[in-house]
Amino acid sequence: MAETKAKAPENGKNMVKIKLFRDNGRYKDAVYAAVNGESYMIPRGVEVEVPDYIAEVVENSIRQDERTANQMEHLEAQYDQKTAAQKN
């Protein structure tokens, strides 16, 4: 999950520092986030400052990815149980 640290408003924007998880596999590319036509490419593994609303979009995306992974695991387990019962 992204780490966030608040900072005083800059140009009318409440800026926060975030750092996204990075590895050498699936999580190595920058993350694109946009709100109302304002877009950012956020590199992974580096602390950067973004407006708080961009950080919120990134956090929501990370939470949704986690929910999706959990749902997929749940459905796979259900499928495995169903197919095991049909074999018996």
Q: Mean pLDDT over all residues of the chain?
A: 89
* Residue 9 confidence (pLDDT): 62
Per-residue pLDDT band at 7 (split at 50, 70, 90): low
For 24, phi then psi, to 5°, come to -100, 15
Element at 2 (helix H, strand E): none
Instruction: Give pTM, 2 decimals.
Output: 0.73
pLDDT tens-place string over residues 47-56: 999 999 999 9
* Residue 32 confidence (pLDDT): 96
pLDDT at 39 over 70: yes
Give mean pLDDT, residues 24-29. 89
The answer to whether the beta carbons of residues 33 and 18 sit under 8 Å apart is no
